[in-house]
Amino acid sequence: MAVEYWLVAFDSTHHALRAEAELEGAGLDIDIRPTPKTVTAGCALSIDFFPQDLEVVQRVLTEKEVVVRGYFKPDGPTYVTL
């Protein structure tokens, strides 16, 4: 069974790279990758994370004032907003 990742999308590459640094600094297992075409975002980069880490991801990004476009989870061939 494949591991399911959720993702967080951003409006700018600056925010995506800052989020990557903050989340890795918090010890989270994440991966930065191209934003899927089915996710509407202003930036070409998104961050994958494990679903069980959602609350921690949201808390870290809020505390560090990183601007987020949205949080998404896969739904078949597309993604839906959390």
The answer to whether residue 82 scores a pLDDT higher than 80 is yes
**What gap in Å lies between CA 53 and CA 28, rounded to an integer?**
8
pLDDT of residue 19: 98
Backbone φ and ψ of 67, nearest 5°:
-75, 125
Q: What percent of the chain has a predicted confidence (pLDDT) above 70?
A: 95
**What gap in Å lies between CA 20 and CA 29, rounded to an integer?**
10
**Residue 67 — pLDDT band, cuts 50, 70, 90?**
very high
The answer to whether residue 45 scores a pLDDT higher than 80 is yes
pTM: 0.91
**What gap in Å lies between CA 11 and CA 46, rounded to an integer?**
10
The answer to whether residue 1 scores a pLDDT higher than 60 is no
